[in-house]
Structure 1
Amino acid sequence: MGDWDVSCAICGVIFIPEDVYIESEAELFSEGKSRESERDRSYSYDGSKVTKADCEWLSDNDALGLWPQHGQPEATNTFMTGRFEPGGYGSILLEARALSSHLQDQEDSMIAYRSVLGGLLTVFPFHTACYKLLGRVISGRINTTVDEENLYAAFVRLSDEYSTWHLDIDYGSPCPRDNRSWITYRGHEVDAPSAVLLRPTNIRCPQLLVKNPIDTANISTHLVNQQFLPEVLASSSVLQDPFDRLPHEIRQHLLELLSNRDIAAVRTASYPMHATIPSKAVWKRLIAAHMPWLWEMDAVISRGAYRELNLSRTIRELENWTTFGDDKTDTFSLALANRRRIWSICEIIADEYDKVTDECKVATTKEWVDMGDGCFELQIKP
């Protein structure tokens, strides 16, 4: 019969590391070990890039559920389970008495996403780090208050009856593996042909997926310094340059109106524009447009270090350094590429969250309707 792990609703990755080899190949050979099968190799990580400490955040988790029969009409009906351990068949095992008052009468385990059995209360699980990242996307702050009822409603809208291990959304690239597996029990062999519908479990999970997305990264070596032309070339280049007739403040204002590509073009073609340092407002606007997930740039801009940097080349370098690619094994940041991937997922969830929020603002009545699979749909009447 089929079994499946529970995955984070936000990033799509499971909650504890698989039984993987963290050691590098060199360490294995030096210790006289060898991989016994190709399956072991497919589960392995390079110890020079991923450590056990890198994976600890995967077990720091929570889950969001809804209990509409509880409380008064004006009270919130949502609850957080607190930390849990993943169980089998899409379940989570709740830690003893870490439960809210809503769950005191519940069993120690709950079903994640949709229940194929029906009649069971289900929850949407996530890593704590991913939830913080979602909060930043929703409100722009890492520690923020999210309306849990609206978020639950958004999760329900983004799930379906066939997605019993994650939401029905695009989890970016690289996409976490389909974590369903097939377990054959004695006497159940007749069901084995159904296994062809399921993908094998020994698909290698890219190393960046286990990197904590909210760890602060060192980006200093990927900031490109400003380069100025020699005085002889500079003096000859301004003779017929119309921008030379404009005051410095006007040239700066022009940069504030241009895209990153246009800024690069005009500063390449014109020395006066090349010598015009883009203002803090330009930097903040372009960073927000191109890489809102790279909050390390906030400190660079705040302390004025941006004045010594080439705006367009720095953005191009940072975008390249944080982009995942199968052919870029050692030339991109695992942690920032994972953060960038999860940020794009958070934007999908935040868009649905905003729709729910907007609908609730003009609603005259709201009602939670039991869908029969453990979830409750928010029905709103304007």
Structure 2
Amino acid sequence: MIVLQLLVTNPVEISPLTKYLDEIRDIANSEKDTSEPQEVPQSFDIFNTLPYELRQQIFSLLPLSSVLALRAASWSMHTTQLPEKSWKARLEYDLPWLWEVHGIDLTGSQKLEARLSKTIVELEGKSQYRSDKVDYIPGLANRRRIWMVCEDIKDMYHETLAERAKSETSQV
């Protein structure tokens, strides 16, 4: 019965998702309202010994929620700039089915990034149906399921097109 509910739940109009989106927007906007300078921590930061390019490479290998968590935990990583285009691409790659957050700036103070990281991780968890778990959001889980199926279909379609093009060129 639960699986059936998941399959028929509207994947676009998701009222429980609104609470999370409002929270993300509030977190992001709360920092814009204050202009408090951030204090540089006095503790040793191992990431400070790494070259800037290597720190950016580390970011490119981590999922979005881990990037936010690392930026929240390390001052050196927090001050490492994320290129705007790659940040947006990463957000769209990691959370394509959560298009409502694509336009929200998720970078800011370490405190902000820590809160955002927790919220993003929670949303990722609530977007996955598992039989041993009951705290998922049905509409969001359905949206993610549909998105992943569509991605699989797209890949199969492109493979078929490539095979067709290859066979047509070999016949010429």
The alignment's TM-score, normalised by the length of structure 2, stands at 0.62
Compare the two structures and name the one with the higher strand fraction. 1
Q: Residue by residue, what CA displacement relative to the aligned partner does 1:317-366 show, whole Å, maximum 9, x if unpaired?
A: 2211211234543x33221110111122222222221121112223439x
Q: Could you say if the C-alpha distance between residues 337 and 222 of structure 1 is closer, same or farther in structure 2, counting changes exceeding 3 Å?
A: farther
Amino acid at match of 1:207: Q
Q: Would you identify which runs of 4 or more consecutive aligned residues in structure 1 move more than 6 Å? A: 244-247
Structure 1 residues 242, 289: CA separation in 2 closer, same or farther (over 3 Å shift)? closer
Matched, 1:237 2:40: no
Q: What residue in structure 2 maps to residue 280 of structure 1?
A: 84
Q: Distance in 2 between matches of 1:204 and 1:282?
A: 38
Asked if structure 1 preserves the Cα contact closer than 8 Å seen for 2:92 and 2:99, the reply is no
* Max Rg structure: 1
Mapped contact 2:47–2:76 kept (Cα < 8 A): no
User: Residues of 1 paired with 2:67 and 2:102: CA distance?
Assistant: 21
**1:256–1:282: 8 Å Cα contact kept in structure 2?**
no
Tell me the equivalent position of 2:168: 364
Q: Cα 1:253–1:206, aligned 2, differ >3 Å: closer, same or farther?
A: same
Change beyond 3 A, Cα 1:271–1:364: closer
Structure 1: distance between partners of 2:107 and 2:72: 17
Over the matched positions of the two proteins, sequence identity in percent amounts to: 31
| Equivalent position SS for 1:306 | coil
Per the normalisation by structure 1, the TM-score is 0.32
User: What code does the residue aligned with 1:323 have?
Assistant: Q
Name 2:67's counterpart in structure 1.
263
Deviation (angstroms), 1:316: 1.5
SS of the equivalent of 1:235 reads coil
Structure 1: runs of 5+ lacking an equivalent:
1-202, 366-380
Aligned-residue Cα RMSD (Å) equals: 4.1
* 8 Å CA contact 2:47, 2:55 repeated in 1: no
User: How many Å separate the matches in 1 of 2:55 and 2:83?
Assistant: 7
Shift of 1:269: 5.6
Q: Does 1:220 align with 2:32?
A: no
Structure 2 residues without counterparts, runs of 5 or longer: 32-37
**Alignment partner of 2:41: what SS?**
helix
Name the structure 1 match of 2:106.
306
Cα–Cα, structure 1 residues 205 and 242, in superposed 2: closer, same or farther, change >3 Å?
Answer: closer
Q: CA deviation at 1:274?
A: 3.0
- Number of residue pairs matched by the alignment: 155
**Structure 1 or 2: more helix by fraction:** 2
